[in-house]
Structure 1
Amino acid sequence: MEPISVVIITLNEEKRIGRLLDDLYQQTHQDFEVILVDSNSDDATRDVADSFKNHLPALTVHRMETRGVSLGRNTGASLANFERILFLDADVRLSPDFLEKSVKELNEKSLDVAGVYMGASSLPTIQKLSYGAFNAGMFATQFFFPTAVGACIFSTRTAHQRLNGFDEKITLCEDCDYVRRASKIMRFRFINQAFQFDPRRLDQDGLFATGLVYLKANVRRFFFGEMRNNEMEYKFGHYDEQK
């Protein structure tokens, strides 16, 4: 089974990064490296990550002076040693067989770039319904106007280079832009796997408000193209809740 370069972007994630790194430590597929790209966190994110180097020997922690989601992902991809890349956010949780099942499905379907659905097994009913609606939307649009959640996207070094990476001028829906461009020149689909997604974004910004923002953003993208002039401002790492 092919090796994977796991790229994780962080900003002030000392309360969460350990959970994700522990999930990776427990994976049934262990042929991977972890490249953690930290956007100059003000907390102990890098210290927590460093504490896992005995458990994850192929772990490197890279510090960026400049903050940015796309910049972090592109930086991580440039440091990757393997062809297959998995981009993750720090607040993601993975089941122990996630990598094994995902790689198998990626190879069976010959996918270059792939989205992953959001799981909500431990969340309240209203959030399960919301995640379900979001997943249904991603499933339907993958055939004509692909979207995806940047917190968990599979790609390859070849695909990433052909796409010139994530567009660093886009602050909202840069992940959707990435998979949309990918779908035009290579094989893209969603795989039938799920990652657990921390609901803090919905809790802090509001379930309805968050859904409305992304609905408006994607309608705007569909009719007028990508947002490169900060038409809808989005701040990286603005979440205060750190349970």
Structure 2
Amino acid sequence: MNSPLFSIIIPCYNQAHFLIDCLGSLLGQTFTNWEAILVNDGSTDRTADLAEEFLQKDARIQFISQSNQGLSAARNAGLHLAEGEYILFLDADDWLEPDCLQTFFEATLANPSLSLFRAGYAYWDRPGGTKFHEHLPFINGPIYPQVLTANIGPCHSILIRRDLVCKVGEFDITLKSCEDWDFWMRSGRLGAEIYSIPKVLVAYRYVLTSMSRHPQVMYAALSEVSRRATLPDPRLGNQTGEELVSLTNLPNIQKNHLITVLGVLLHQGKAKEAIAWYLQESEKWQWDVQGKDWSHLSSYLSWAYFSSQAEIFKLLADTRPVVSTFFFGLGYSADEIKNLLRLVFGMQLKKLNHFTYGTYLGAALNKLGRY
């Protein structure tokens, strides 16, 4: 039997309730030369039972189980079994559009010298449900050095050639978050170039809550990966001779990281903890914080894509007072806090104008700054 062209590696830890959408999206692909490796990372739910049902439906799906070791270890376990020329890492709660693999296939034929291919992605609550936002990539070429300060997209929106995986190495099991960014950073340092497909091919499940996220864990991982950007990477040996992020730029990068995860903490209602954490890190890094910097509080990790009327009302009722308390604790005046709240909840406030006054009048009010 010929080897599959694509290997899709799917880690799963207690996400059986999402597997029907994820694996079903593979069975619905118009391109058929693929294999899927589902890695059960110590789940205690019905992951194994559902996997068995899909194995009976399609022999292209493999299933392995291991004790719970984390996302990176699960992806690495799948890599050890993968036989495809190209690798795609798909989380169990996400899914692919039906023409995803076919479109990737056509891109690889047109660009045989490239090792990375990137597609557009959209945030959904569920298949066929509400689409909150979509992102279409357009930039082609080397991903370095831009990748040192920003990730290049969700893992399942990026196809990677196997020979590059062999050079980059495995995912870092010591990282509890940002392991994909670390992986792409190494790819960039090896000179990888990317081809962007400005079409939505994958879906990212967007859960309208940050209550289950761990801001401190995310910040620690972001800090570690950013620190690595200032140093040669011993994992790559002498394969690279690249420039590094200047240590003088690191404080500003750290500032943006912290403000982003503070948005998660504030969404969890923890203003007191957020104030103490910010003051501690600010003293350490000696940041010069501008008003616009606080826009990072609103991100896809927190409330950036809350867009229905009910979601907005709840967000403004529950979270806006917490954010106001946070700014007050940092010493901002009442007028400054009013302007900062308009900044961090701007999308929702503008959307409310559209709900209240209609498309045209709402747009006019927004343009005049009446929100």
TM-score in same-fold range (> 0.5): yes
- Which protein is bigger by CA-based radius of gyration? 2
Residues 1:166 and 2:167 aligned together: no
The aligned counterpart of 2:268 is: none
User: Cα–Cα, structure 1 residues 63 and 199, in superposed 2: closer, same or farther, change >3 Å?
Assistant: same
Contact 1:86 1:154 in 2 (8 A): yes
Higher relative contact order (CA 8 A, sep 6+): 1
State the number of aligned residues.
218
Q: Contact 2:144 / 2:189 at 8 angstroms: preserved in 1?
A: no
1:117 correspondence with 2:150: no
Query: Cα distance, 1:141 vs. partner?
Result: 10
The verdict on how the C-alpha distance between 1:220 and 1:6 changes in structure 2, with shifts beyond 3 A counting, is closer
Q: Secondary structure at the match of 2:166?
A: helix
Deviation track 1:9-28 (CA, whole Å, cap 9, x = no partner) reads 10111111111111111111
> Could you tell me which of 196, 199, 206 is aligned with 1:199?
206
Q: Any residues of structure 2 matched to 1:186-225 within 5 Å, and which?
A: 186-189=191-194, 191-192=196-197, 193-194=199-200, 195-200=202-207, 203-205=208-210, 221-222=225-226, 224-225=227-228
- Relative to structure 1, the CA distance from residue 124 to residue 24 in structure 2 (aligned partners, 3 Å threshold; closer, same or farther) is closer
Give the corresponding residue for 2:28.
26
Q: Deviations over 1:20-61 (max 9, x none)?
A: 111111111111111101111010012111101233212111
Contact 1:117 1:190 in 2 (8 A): no
CA RMSD of aligned residues (A): 3.6
Q: Which residue in the other structure is 1:156 paired with?
A: 161
* 2-structure distance, mates of 1:197, 1:96: 15
TM-score, normalization by structure 1: 0.75
Shift of 1:83: 2.0
Q: Deviations over 1:132-151 (max 9, x none)?
A: 4xx67999994532213224
CA displacement 1:71-121 (0-9 Å, x = unmatched): 111110110122211111011121111100012113323331334432137
Q: 1:139 to 1:217 in 2, by over 3 A?
A: farther
Q: Which residue of 1 aligns with 2:146?
A: 145
The separation in 2 between residues aligned to 1:38 and 1:19, in whole angstroms, is 16
Corresponding position of 1:107: 109
- Residue identity (%): 23
- The one-character-per-residue Cα deviations of 1:210-241 (angstroms, maximum 9, x if unpaired) are 99x9799758744x236xxxx999xxxxxxxx
Q: Which residue of 1 aligns with 2:361?
A: none
Higher helix share: 2
Query: For the Cα contact (< 8 Å) 2:114–2:195, is it kept in 1?
Result: no
The whole-number CA distance in structure 2 between the counterparts of 1:58 and 1:30 is 9
- The 3 A distance-change label for structure 1 pair 136 and 85 is closer
Alpha carbons of structure 1 residues 74 and 220: separation in structure 2 relative to 1, 3 Å: closer
- Find the aligned partners of 1:154 and 1:11 in 2 and give their Cα distance: 23
Paired with 2:210 and 2:181, the residues of 1 have a C-alpha distance of 20
- State the alpha-carbon separation in 2 of the partners of residues 71 and 216 from structure 1: 19
Structure 2 length normalisation: TM-score? 0.51
Deviation larger for 60-69 or 144-153: 144-153
SS at match of 1:63: strand
CA 1:62–1:55 in 2, change beyond 3 Å: closer, same or farther? same
Q: Deviation at 1:191?
A: 2.8
Counterpart CA distance in 2 for 1:124 and 1:107 is: 34
Mean alpha-carbon deviation: is it higher for 188-197 or for 68-77?
A: 188-197
Q: Distance in 1 between matches of 2:184 and 2:118?
A: 8
Separation (CA, whole Å) in 1 of partners of 2:18 and 2:188: 32
Whether contact under 8 Å (1:37, 1:75) holds in the other structure is yes
- CA-to-partner distance for each residue in 1:144-164, whole Å, 9 max, x for gaps? 322132244322332212111
The equivalent of 1:178 in structure 2 is 183
Q: After TM superposition, list the pairs within 5 Å mapping 1:226-237 onto structure 2.
A: none
